[in-house]
Amino acid sequence: MFVFSTYERLASESFPGKIENIHDSWLRGALSKLLISEENLESKIRKSDERNNIPRIPQHMAERVDFRNYYEPRIISIGPIHLPKEDLLQGKLYKDLWAAKYVQGADFHRIQEVHRMTRQNAYISMQFMYLDLLKNEKLASAYDHPPDGKMFATLALVSDGCCVLHLLEKSDNSFEAQEELEISIDKLLWMHQDLLIMDNQIPFQVLRLLCEDQERLEKCLGNFLQVHGIQTAPKLRRQNQEEQELRLIVQGDNQEEEGNESDPLHLLDYLRRALLMRDLETIHKDIRVKMRSWHLRKYRIGTIRELRAAGIRVRRHSNINSLYPTFNHGILYLPELTVDGSTAHIFLNLVAHEIWPGFRNNFAISSFIVFMSSLIDQPEDVKELRLAGVLINELANDKEVADLFNKMDTILVPETPLFAHIRDQIHVHFKSKRGKIRMLSWMGEASNTFFRSPWTIIALLAAVLGLVLTFIQTWFAIHPKSS
């Protein structure tokens, strides 16, 4: 009762007239504690939202066994979250080497700015994370026992930032990248996959501070996109030094709403922007806004084979920069998609980025994955997309692609207007041409059954010939020719 009585006294002083008339002592104490704790709770919520420098993978996705390989770096750790893992300490040799090479040509004034910003409030959450890591004796020894979390965060941010910039700058299309980075091609590919992991990132503002030359920074970012098959890079907004410092001090690395006017959060967020470069206003202008459903759902419209049987054709979208499908006059236009060894890393980490509570967005990438997972169920669906020029398969076979999208089919997202509109368009198409669709469905089933290969065609012709000969034999048996 001592705790409750203290809360009751504080609540009576702060909120007079609120609890005096409550006779039950336990209820009066509980409400008093709730009133007094309101400010503390709001402070905790704000702090949890501000810890966005390096957000963690959402727990329900990180614990999935079949997703784990896509959320664990293999060689290199960026930031504090994966730093204590002993199997990644080998990557520190590459980090130190590449950071040293970048620092040789860097402006030491920029590095001093990173140090100053780190010691201010911009990266306060990272300071606590690095401070916890100092308890690991082996890790602290690898970094020469820094005196506190601030110095450790400064050292790690400078080392990671310079390492990432040197890696991206040398990862162009030339054949000398392996020699300049002094690494084998397989490890280099794994490192680029490590840079896609959501909680293995470095704040973008650190890269800005370390690379003052805007053109040089954009070249590094362009190389990063080209490694993953993206040719068009969004331009960065130019900002002067005073604006950059004010943004860091006041906002930290916080970006509550998506938009291309401000800098991305990190490399993964920059890749997401590159995939969503098309102007959404031109897409949504013809969409009738309906009351939004807040249920998590999947956009079930049928597989490619079911759509084809219903008379819906699939074509490749003419806009190569568009990730958004469209439906018009019975034709479903889909963006060109290359599926290779990095596709799962890109998509699953972008999904984790979009569902992170601190990032407000329209779930565009997640909705696209759910939409494509609805279209692809069997290897035959992948084959149809390949023949339509929509999908480029760089995996071993079509079954691997189908298995990948079936694995991602467990993702649930809130309904978004664009994909809900396409689903409704297809359903309206079904209703308006139900009789014709039924006939086309029968014809499609007959085509898939009897004309899917030369052998089935030969078997069909043999069966028809057998029926004709049987009919002729029966006819002459009933109507024999007179002698």
For the segment 354-383, what is each residue's pLDDT rounded down to a tens digit?
A: 988 878 888 889 889 988 988 999 999 999
User: Residue 447 CB: number of other CB atoms within 10 A?
Assistant: 13
Range with top average pLDDT, 42-51, 257-266, 287-296, 312-321: 312-321
- Start-to-end CA distance of the chain, whole Å, equals 122
Mean pLDDT of 179-188: 86
Q: What percent of the chain has pLDDT over 70?
A: 71
In this predicted structure, the answer to whether residue 223 has a pLDDT above a threshold of 80 is yes
Give the H or E element holding residue 306. Answer: helix 304-309
Mean pLDDT of 430-450: 62
CA dist list (Å): 193 to 102, 111, 167, 200, 223: 21, 27, 13, 10, 14
- Comparing 276 with 239, which gets the higher pLDDT? 276
Cβ(206)–Cβ(161) below 8 Å:
yes
Q: Roughly what angle, to the nearest 10 degrees, separates helices 149-170 and 124-133? A: 100
Full 3-state SS string of 411-445: CCEECCHHHHHHHHHHHHHHHHCHHHHHHHHHHHH
Cβ(117)–Cβ(144) below 8 Å:
no
How would residue 28 be classed by pLDDT, with cut points 50, 70 and 90? low
> How high is the pLDDT of residue 249?
40
CB-based contacts of 382, cutoff 8 Å, min separation 6 = 376, 391, 393, 398, 399, 401, 402
- Comparing 429 with 387, which gets the higher pLDDT? 387
Of 330, 313, 444, the closest CA to residue 390 belongs to 313
- Comparing 107 with 202, which gets the higher pLDDT? 202
Helices within 80-121 (DSSP H only):
91-104, 108-119
> How high is the pLDDT of residue 381?
93
Residue 452, φ and ψ in degrees, nearest 5:
-80, -15
Biggest CA-to-CA distance, the chain: 125
Cβ(150)–Cβ(119) below 8 Å:
yes
> How high is the pLDDT of residue 351?
92
How would residue 169 be classed by pLDDT, with cut points 50, 70 and 90? very high
How would residue 298 be classed by pLDDT, with cut points 50, 70 and 90? low
> How high is the pLDDT of residue 64?
86
338: β partners: 392
> How high is the pLDDT of residue 353?
92
Least trusted range by pLDDT, from 205-214, 313-322, 458-467? 313-322
Q: What is the DSSP string of 314-364?
A: EEE-S-TT----EEETTEEEE--EEE-TTHHHHHHHHHHHHHSTT-B---H
